[in-house]
Amino acid sequence: MDAPNFSDVRSALLERITSNLGVHDKAKEVMSDVSTLFEIVGDINMKEDEVFRKADIPHVIDFKSGFGSNEKGNMLRLLTVGRAYRIWDHRTKLMLLVRQDENNNYLKVLLRSKLWEVHTGANTYKKIEEITGADVQSIREGVIDWRADLSPEFYNYLKSQPTDLTAYLAW
């Protein structure tokens, strides 16, 4: 299935608000404020996530490498996109699959929101297997050995960077 266009979500929400306002004497002012809020939010790209139906329930998966100190924008986007999906279809199941186990407060904010079902580290691969039937974890463990697969020179180059890039080899 295709992800919805945010313009469709915005239109559905505007219709609900207009309907709920009815002939309220401040309806025009409220709708003007709502339009201003939509301008602040801007257009949300909902096409980048994996979207599918399972038992006629929409599922959305967003994959992330990890949540570091520069992930505030990502967190805010995920909260906004998640709410937009719920407006589109309140049954939508939202899953965030994060490769790293070590994450920071931005991921904890997402966990506390209870909007997204969050899986990290090895649990991410268990969730992928549950959804697809493919045991990616075993394949990953049995086939990939980055330290042995990369030349010592390249591995040392990654390790010697100001931010140790070998952390990205832990899948």
User: Would you state the pLDDT for residue 168?
Assistant: 79
User: Would you state the pLDDT for residue 41?
Assistant: 85
User: Would you state the pLDDT for residue 107?
Assistant: 87
Tens digit of each residue's pLDDT, the chain (171 residues): 888 889 889 999 999 999 999 888 888 999 999 999 988 888 888 888 889 998 999 999 998 888 776 778 888 889 999 999 999 999 999 999 998 887 778 888 888 999 999 999 889 999 999 988 999 888 888 888 888 899 999 999 999 999 888 877 876
pLDDT tens column, 45-77: 888 888 999 899 999 999 888 877 677 888 888
CATH of 6-134, one of 3.20.20, 3.40.1560, 3.30.70, 1.10.1790: 3.40.1560
Interior/surface letters 129-165, b for 16+ CB within 10 angstroms, e for the rest: eeeeeeeebeeeeeeeeeeeeeeeeebeebeeeeeee
Structure tokens at 47: 């096409």
User: Would you state the pLDDT for residue 116?
Assistant: 94
User: Would you state the pLDDT for residue 144?
Assistant: 86
Structure tokens at 144: 């990939």
Q: State the pTM of this model.
A: 0.77
Domains of the chain, by residue range, sit at: 6-134, 135-171
Which of 61, 131, 59 lies closest to 89, judged by CA?
A: 59
